[in-house]
Amino acid sequence: MYAVFKTGGKQFRAEAGSRLQVPTLEAEAGDTVTFDDVLLAGDGEQVFVGRPNVDGAAVKAEVLGHGRDKKVIVFKRKRRKGYRRKQGHRQGFTEIRIDEITGGTDGS
């Protein structure tokens, strides 16, 4: 079974046992989190598409830890003016392991 859920303004495809890096969550390592904002769920034979969410569907995951992604360099420049700005950014993330996907019914 698989599901597409939304968290932190982004969408993720989840299968049981998979590990994902999602935007930072307010949870400690070892906690269990539930994502109720499931947009699509499928079991291989049927696909349930939500309008906008699939009724009764949820994704349960365990928080493995927190971290920061690779550095992204932001460089601004204006030609012939001597204007140069260099800035770095590292986005925070939470690593989770999908434990269970509970299916629902179509949202129609």
The confidence score (pLDDT) of residue 43 equals 86
- Mean model confidence pLDDT for the chain: 94
* pLDDT tier at 106, thresholds 50, 70, 90: low
In the predicted model, is pLDDT for residue 108 greater than 80?
A: no
Beta strands of 8-106 (E only): which ranges?
10-15, 19-23, 32-35, 38-42, 47-49, 58-68, 72-78, 83-89, 92-102
Q: Write b or e for each residue in 26-41: b if 16 or more Cβ atoms lie within 10 A of its Cβ, otherwise e.
A: eeeeeeebebebbbbb
Q: Name the token pair of 8.
A: 């932190």
Percent of the chain with pLDDT over 70: 95
In the predicted model, is pLDDT for residue 83 greater than 80?
A: yes
Least confident of 19-23, 35-39, 102-106: 102-106
Q: Tell me the whole-structure pTM to 2 decimals.
A: 0.84
Between 43 and 96, the higher pLDDT residue: 96
Sheet containing 47-49: order of strands: 10-15, 2-7, 38-42, 47-49
**Sign of CA pseudo-dihedral 100, 104, 107, 108:** positive
| Segments making up each domain of the chain, as ranges | 2-102
